[in-house]
Structure 1
């Protein structure tokens, strides 16, 4: 069976399981990763050889990106949402901004390194499609999350 025909079935199955109660964050992350592999492989029309070489590099990049965003940014986001920003000093704000800028720079350098590595595996057209696939995937995931939230109200 063609992967393009399998993808909607897989998405439905995994999305149903994604919202099952009692699942750990790690399990949900793994399910999202499985959805991402299926979606990107289809959208980019990866050959077996390309997929074998692409996914280890992408997964390493994605894990590091996740770690940067969720570990370092968590502190900043907590500070922004706990109401303490109204009491922040100018010095603290400057330190805070410097930390955010450093994290953003790390994310930029990480993506730049990833792009350099992936250029040895995929043609430029597929790399451009990758950016669109990432945006489309994130949009669909967010929409699914929003729909789930509306159903529980």
Structure 2
């Protein structure tokens, strides 16, 4: 009787671990591709790259953390489809939290740009923004194509 319960639980744990491992590997692969793409687009010198990447990685990690915080705040409040059940007070509180996260993201981006100005030219900072957008657009297009095919 106990084995009938244990086997499915063990199977689910193993499957979820292998799925998350696959996800982590894909995430790392995408990050490596992004690094290569940005490096190529910005044409960073060795000296610039040594100073640029620690700043960029710290910014990217903090930005990701803030975005996940925003999603947690939303998801913790209600289940999908239950927006109508939110009271006006809860919805107002949620909006305030979302605005706070957006303000933090904006302040983070301003600091990031200021930090980069001592490392790379203004032109390369603009190229960085374009490279990030181009990379993300290409990645999304590839994901859509794979889902269709």
TM-score normalized by the length of structure 1: 0.79
Secondary structure of the 2:120 match is coil
Asked if residue 67 in structure 1 is aligned to residue 68 in structure 2, the reply is: no
Q: Which runs of 5+ in 2 are unaligned?
A: 1-17
2:114 maps to which of 105, 113, 116 = 116
Structure 2 distance, partners of 1:30, 1:49, is: 24
How far is 1:86 from its partner? 1.1
Instruction: Give the count of matched residue pairs.
Output: 131
Distance 1:71 1:148, change over 3 A: farther
Question: Gaps spanning 5+ residues in structure 1: where?
Answer: 1-20
* More deviation, 117-126/76-85: 76-85
Could you say which residue in structure 1 is the equivalent of 2:48? 50
RMSD: 1.8
Q: CA offsets per residue over residues 116-147 of structure 1, 9 Å max, x none? A: 10000000100011110010011011111111
Instruction: Find the counterpart in structure 2 of residue 84 from structure 1.
Output: 82
- TM-score of the superposition, structure 2-length normalised? 0.81
Give the Cα–Cα distance (whole angstroms) in 1 for the partners of residues 24 and 51 of structure 2: 24
2:73–2:94 Cα contact (<8 Å) kept: no
Does the 8 Å contact 2:59/2:108 carry over to 1? Answer: yes
Tell me, in whole angstroms, the C-alpha distance in 1 between the residues paired with 2:109 and 2:100. Answer: 14
